[in-house]
A and B are shown apart, each in its own frame.
Chain A
Amino acid sequence: MVSPTRMEEYWRKTRNLLITTLILWFIFGYVVHAFAPVLNEITFLGFPLGFYMAAQGSLIAFVLIIFWYAHRQNQIDQEFDVAEE
């Protein structure tokens, strides 16, 4: 079926996507909130921005990150012809 070199290439792309996704996850899970006291000086939709990011912003980002990841991974699967029929 899939040749070993193609398989390696597939896994390399999959792993890169995984790393990108986890970097985004780390940014919205941790990095943004490390600046909460500074962000709180800014008002967004009536909220202090630091509070908003922890209460809503990051949550929306997580949902989008997962759907984006699922979409990209599916494209990779199709490119290498390993997607389910």
Chain B
Amino acid sequence: MQQPRDAFIANLGRIYGTYTGGFIGFVIFLAILEWLGVPDRIIGYLFVFLTLAVYAGIGIISRTTQISEYYVAGRRVPAVYNGMATAADWMSAASFIGMAGSLYLLGYDGLAFVLGWTGGYVLVATLIAPYLRKFGAYTVPDFLAARYGGNFARLIGVVILFTCSLVYLMGQLKGTGVIASRLLDIPVNYGIFVGLVGILVCSMLGGMRAVTWTQVAQYIVLIIAYLIPVIILSAQKTGVPIPQIMYGQVLQQITELEQQYGIAKPHVQPWVNYDVINFFALILCLMVGTASLPHVIMRFFTTPSVREARTSVGWALFFIFLLYFTAPAYAAFAKLEIFQNVIGKSVETLEAVRELPQWIFLYGKIGLVKICGTAAADPQTVFDACQKAGVSTLAFDPAVFSINRDVVVISMPEVAGLPYVIAGLVAAGGLAAALSTADGLLLAMANALSHDIYYKMIDPTASTARRLVVARVLLFVVAALAAYLTITAPAHILKYVAWAFSLAAAGLFPALVLGVLWKNANTTGAIVGMLGGYGLTLFYIIMTNTGAMEPWFGIRNISAAIFGMPVAFILTIVVSKMTAPPPREIQEFVEQLRIPRGPVLMEEARREG
């Protein structure tokens, strides 16, 4: 904005270029160490601690004592870099490690996740990002409060934000713990603690500013780590190092083998795992949920202008696309490997079992590969289990051979016969994906408490210094709470992360969109709409999950917003029409919101620049 473009912003290209070169050099250095005979465990430690040290270093360098730096990185993040930061913020441990596995298991139907998690950005670009950037919000509830007259709308926003983000954050902490525990050979709960320290050092001193520049660094690590193994594998299997194009051939081979084995659910055939209605309902809920999740929306508060907020969404989706259009290639290569080297193989003798690919036993040891219903820890175990089950040949049937979805990505280096350093690289990428998302979620929640609850509702006279202290203390408290819950909560709670999308879609999307598009949306309408949509979605999820109610029209509760969102829209519109239209100031406020020119609208942000 008015501030001069400082040396740091002007030199971003050179800084991150050097950083990328440095990271590649570091990986080569570790490869040389491995070649010289340094044990795998040391390489794992170097990967974790050096990448964590870099992220923490960026966090410390970016420390700040200014409110606008802490909450919105001073609004100086150029579109391309904000795109990279958003991509890292967005792509979680589940995207990095789990998605390719889901595609392996679900085939075509799994592409609902790919479509849902990318198409949502069109909604962000057209309906959300430019207007909230113009408003100048520090948090999403800020906008709700300004548009819908006061702290009650703000409070509902905070509650929805919290419920969407907390389980999501727990998922990231768990992911961090699992990866750190594998690399460092320590219990998962200690791994969670290692990740937590990394997250706090990154975000506490510099808030959004530190998280932004760390996320850019994390994006670079995660995209390199994701692409390299599958590029090498593609070169090995097809002769061309472009997996995203070459897996077309692999799909053809898969289809032929499927016919040969008589497999009932072909990989490329639509709607064999989900029915048509659930497939499209899931896409819609994930898209709208993407456009409503506060930790994503708040990234677009940091660009220098409304115009850059719009292009920044394009860049964000481009950087996300690089990973998402590669994920189905991982799935296809994994499936081909399994069809060629596992399915149809004999397990009648111990010698035959020993002939199976070694990665099976490597990941069988940690319970991720099961053969004949037992973890495939070693050939003897597999042989005994299959004898007992009366299985002589491995079939493509979960009862005979099944893998955990994480295996598809993490086993790729072993499947391709690559050195350990590549496995370490993949783990470092997964760690970067989990940490960057955790940073964003933690900041979204802590900011809602420190800015919306403490400053706006409890003590509006608090000094800048005091607000920053409170913000940091609350950040620590939320992080500690999330870590405590992650360690104590039952493991299956993490599958509920997917519900966050439906809750956000039904709770926040209608109020945000109507707030911009329809001047007559008023306070009562928005509050009734938010509570109604969110309430119905929560009700549907709880009732169908506990089995107290049959799903309506067979819609799975992952797509619960398919009912909640229209209800929220209808309630907001009908109630707004039945009650008095919003005052003249609010209508003028909406008009100002719609044009890019002019200062930000939020009073406080205007004062602090």
Q: Interface with A: B14-22, B294-302, B309-317, B544-552, which one?
A: B309-317
Contacts of A83 in B (CB 8 A): 307, 596-597
Known A48-B251, A52-B248, A70-B125: A84·B119 in contact at CB below 8 Å: no
Contacts of A7 in B (CB 8 A): 591, 595
- Which of A30, A40, A46, A82 sits near B595, CB closer than 8 Å? A82
Q: Are A84 and B305 in contact (CB under 8 A)?
A: yes
Residue B387, interface by CB 8 Å: no
Q: Are B318 and A63 in contact (CB under 8 A)?
A: yes
Q: Mark B571-598, 1 if CB is under 8 A from A, else 0.
A: 0000000000000000000010011110
Contacts of A85 in B (CB 8 A): 597
Q: Are B118 and A22 in contact (CB under 8 A)?
A: no
Docked Cα-Cα span, A62 to B291, in Å, equals 14
* Min C-beta distance of A5 to chain B, whole Å: 13
Q: Mark A44-85, 1 if CB is under 8 A from B, else 0.
A: 111110111011101110110111011001100100011111
Residue B484, interface by CB 8 Å: no
Contacts of B125 in A (CB 8 A): 66, 69-70
Residue B123, interface by CB 8 Å: yes
Residue B498, interface by CB 8 Å: no
Q: Are B121 and A62 in contact (CB under 8 A)?
A: yes
Closest to B327 in A: A55
Known A51-B251, A51-B268, A56-B325: A69·B283 in contact at CB below 8 Å: no
Contacts of B227 in A (CB 8 A): none
Q: Which of A27-53 touch B at CB < 8 Å? A: 28-30, 33-34, 36-37, 40, 44-48, 50-52
Docked Cα-Cα span, A36 to B268, in Å, equals 10
Contacts of A21 in B (CB 8 A): 122, 126
Q: Mark B239-256, 1 if CB is under 8 A from A, else 0.
A: 000001110110110000
* Min C-beta distance of B591 to chain A, whole Å: 7
Docked Cα-Cα span, A52 to B111, in Å, equals 10
Contacts of A2 in B (CB 8 A): 595
The listed residue with most B CB atoms (<10 A of its CB), out of A2, A36, A59, A69, is A59
Docked Cα-Cα span, A55 to B127, in Å, equals 25
Q: Are B114 and A59 in contact (CB under 8 A)?
A: yes
Q: Are B317 and A77 in contact (CB under 8 A)?
A: no
Q: Are A67 and B311 in contact (CB under 8 A)?
A: yes
Residue B471, interface by CB 8 Å: no
Q: Are B114 and A55 in contact (CB under 8 A)?
A: yes
Residue B217, interface by CB 8 Å: no
Closest to A47 in B: B248
Docked Cα-Cα span, A46 to B594, in Å, equals 46
Docked Cα-Cα span, A61 to B8, in Å, equals 34
Contacts of B283 in A (CB 8 A): 29-30, 33
Q: Are B119 and A74 in contact (CB under 8 A)?
A: no
Q: Are A74 and B310 in contact (CB under 8 A)?
A: yes
Closest to B111 in A: A54
Known A22-B126, A84-B596: A66·B317 in contact at CB below 8 Å: yes
* Min C-beta distance of A41 to chain B, whole Å: 11
Contacts of B249 in A (CB 8 A): 46
Q: Are B595 and A67 in contact (CB under 8 A)?
A: no
Closest to B267 in A: A51
Residue B270, interface by CB 8 Å: yes
* Min C-beta distance of A34 to chain B, whole Å: 8
Closest to B255 in A: A48
Residue B431, interface by CB 8 Å: no
Known A18-B126, A52-B248, A74-B307: A67·B119 in contact at CB below 8 Å: no
Contacts of A30 in B (CB 8 A): 280, 283-284
- Which of B268, B270, B310 sits near A73, CB closer than 8 Å? B310
Q: Are B307 and A55 in contact (CB under 8 A)?
A: no
Q: Mark B215-248, 1 if CB is under 8 A from A, else 0.
A: 0000000000000000000000000000011101
Q: Are A66 and B108 in contact (CB under 8 A)?
A: no
Q: Are B119 and A36 in contact (CB under 8 A)?
A: no
Q: Mark B299-336, 1 if CB is under 8 A from A, else 0.
A: 00000011100110110011001001100100000000
* Min C-beta distance of A69 to chain B, whole Å: 6
Q: Are A58 and B307 in contact (CB under 8 A)?
A: no
Contacts of B279 in A (CB 8 A): 33
Closest to A15 in B: B517
- Which of A25, A55, A70, A74 sits near B123, CB closer than 8 Å? A25
Task: Identify 22 residue pairs between A and B in the complex whose beta-carbon atoms are under 8 Å apart, listed by A's number.
Answer: A11-B594, A18-B126, A29-B122, A33-B270, A40-B270, A44-B248, A47-B248, A48-B268, A51-B111, A51-B251, A54-B111, A55-B325, A59-B321, A62-B121, A62-B317, A65-B122, A66-B310, A67-B311, A69-B122, A70-B311, A70-B314, A77-B596
Q: Name 13 extra pairs, CB < 8 A, besides A47-B248, A62-B118.
A: A21-B126, A29-B287, A30-B283, A33-B280, A36-B270, A37-B269, A56-B325, A62-B321, A66-B313, A69-B122, A70-B125, A82-B597, A83-B596
Q: Top 5 A-B pairs ranked by shortest CB distance?
A: A46-B248, A70-B310, A54-B111, A47-B248, A66-B314
